[in-house]
Amino acid sequence: MRLDRKALLTIAREAVAQRTRADYNVLAAYLCGSLLEEQFLLGGTTDIDLVFVRLVPVTMKREIARLTDEVHLDIAHHDQEAYIRPHQLRANPWLGYTIFNCKPLYDPRHFMDYTQAGVCSQFERPDYVLERARPQLDHARRIWLELNAAPASFGPQMVKAYLRAVTHAANAIALLGGAPLTERRFLIAFQKRAAALGRPGLFLGLLGLLGGQGVEAEGMRGWLPAWREAILSMPVDVEKPRLHPDRLPYYQRALEAMLEMEEPRLALYPLFNTWTHAILALAEKSPACGAWQNACEQIGLAADTIHDRLAALDAYLDLVQDTLEAWARENGA
């Protein structure tokens, strides 16, 4: 299948038309995500992100519908209650940005017209930008405090929490220049945002927090078979289909493409973040856990090095705070 934007937009419109034709619970539907961006393909794959706003909440909040190995529908179902105060959504980094950038495909009652107008008004005012960015730093610092005070019981839960702190720290910076970072393009986008702020060192610091100094492309490429095995071994969770088997090519081909780039360590975050989530879904003594543990040691996330990594995270969060304060002064916020 030829993946050009026009063809994919047609698929999106047809999917919405088909689902709304007989479903009277849909108030509005819109397109969001990478298909609205200039570079919507990564590794020759993409997804079509659709949101259906529901009059009455439904049990299934998210679903994956495979079209080909290269493209799938990623459909979210939102309760209309989440949209009733558009002006407050300006401070919401995820839903606010989603609405700010979205393309309505079904809106017979002009619900999204009204909501988008309320969100977009003054959305990029400096004080709103900071209102979206500062809580990310607060979340990261809170997680750091919890990890620093926790017993030295190293394992997948601790790694997940550490990666979550790193994610929030990076988004505190990224939100100064755009939408929150998405998983596949996390480091690709962060590198550009840090450079745009005149602080490229933040990117190198983030790579350090992820253990980038200890890995090369060949080593990460060697992790892929075990990473794939862990994802395929997971029980399919219809409630949380993020790592649904139909999304495996979406991740794998993107990782393979990044490993061929001039900076292959751009693959480190999506690879290790998805791998850790897969390990958490498996039994503790699953054979798939051993390779993940070995990879943790290679990037310095192990029981005997975690305290050093937490000290590095502490210093990085101070840099993030300095950056936010400097940006506020420069922009009069």
> pLDDT (tens digit, 9 = 90+) per residue, 42-88?
999 999 999 999 999 999 999 999 999 999 999 999 999 999 999 99
Decide yes or no: CATH 3.30.460.10 for domain 5-120.
Answer: yes
CA 16 and chain centroid, separation: 24
Position 268 pLDDT exceeds 90: yes
Which of the four pLDDT bands, split at 50, 70 and 90, describes residue 297? very high
User: Per-residue pLDDT averaged across 131-157, rounded?
Assistant: 91
Count Cβ atoms below 10 Å from residue 5 Cβ, excluding itself: 14
The residue whose two tokens read 């079904």 is 106
Lowest mean pLDDT among 53-62, 125-134, 144-153, 193-202: 144-153
* Pairwise CA distance, residues 146 & 148, whole Å: 5
User: Per-residue pLDDT averaged across 83-106, rounded?
Assistant: 96
Identify the burial level of 60 via C-beta atoms within 10 angstroms of its C-beta, where 0-12 means exposed, 13-18 middle and 19 or more buried: exposed
Q: CB-based contacts of 64: which residues, under 8 Å, 6+ apart? A: 72, 73, 74, 75, 241, 244, 246, 247
Angle at CA of residue 226, ends 222 and 232, nearest 5°: 140
Residue 296: the pLDDT is 94
Residue 151: the pLDDT is 63
User: Of 312, 317, 220, nearest to 274 (Cα)?
Assistant: 220
User: Of 107, 103, 76, 112, nearest to 8 (Cα)?
Assistant: 103
Which of the four pLDDT bands, split at 50, 70 and 90, describes residue 214? confident
End-to-end CA distance of the chain: 48
The residue whose two tokens read 């689902």 is 19
User: Per-residue pLDDT averaged across 253-275, rounded?
Assistant: 97
* Pairwise CA distance, residues 175 & 317, whole Å: 15
Residues 169-212 have pLDDT tens digits of 999 999 999 999 999 999 999 999 999 999 999 999 999 999 99
Residue 55: the pLDDT is 97
Specify the 3-state DSSP secondary structure of 198: coil
* Pairwise CA distance, residues 97 & 138, whole Å: 20
Lowest mean pLDDT among 76-85, 267-276, 283-292: 283-292
Which of the four pLDDT bands, split at 50, 70 and 90, describes residue 286? confident
* Pairwise CA distance, residues 191 & 174, whole Å: 9
User: Per-residue pLDDT averaged across 262-266, rounded?
Assistant: 97
Which of the four pLDDT bands, split at 50, 70 and 90, describes residue 238? low
Map out the domains of the chain as residue ranges.
Answer: 5-120, 126-321
Query: Rounded to the nearest 10 degrees, what angle do helices 126-149 and 156-174 cross at?
Result: 160
- Please check whether residue 139 is in contact with residue 286, taking contact to mean a CB–CB distance below 8 angstroms: no
Query: Rounded to the nearest 10 degrees, what angle do helices 248-258 and 217-233 cross at?
Result: 170
As a whole number of angstroms, the longest Cα–Cα distance in the chain is: 59
Residue 152: the pLDDT is 62
User: Of 247, 235, 241, 223, nearest to 299 (Cα)?
Assistant: 223
User: Per-residue pLDDT averaged across 228-257, rounded?
Assistant: 89
Kindly list the distances between the CA atom of residue 333 and the CA atoms of 9, 109, 128, 153, 194, in Å, as whole numbers in the listed order: 39, 37, 9, 42, 20
Position 287 pLDDT exceeds 90: no
Identify the burial level of 180 via C-beta atoms within 10 angstroms of its C-beta, where 0-12 means exposed, 13-18 middle and 19 or more buried: buried
Position 147 pLDDT exceeds 70: yes
User: Of 258, 188, 177, 250, nearest to 220 (Cα)?
Assistant: 258
Identify the burial level of 160 via C-beta atoms within 10 angstroms of its C-beta, where 0-12 means exposed, 13-18 middle and 19 or more buried: middle
Residue 333: the pLDDT is 79
Percent of the chain with pLDDT over 70: 98
Mean pLDDT of the chain: 94
Specify the 3-state DSSP secondary structure of 172: helix
Position 239 pLDDT exceeds 70: no
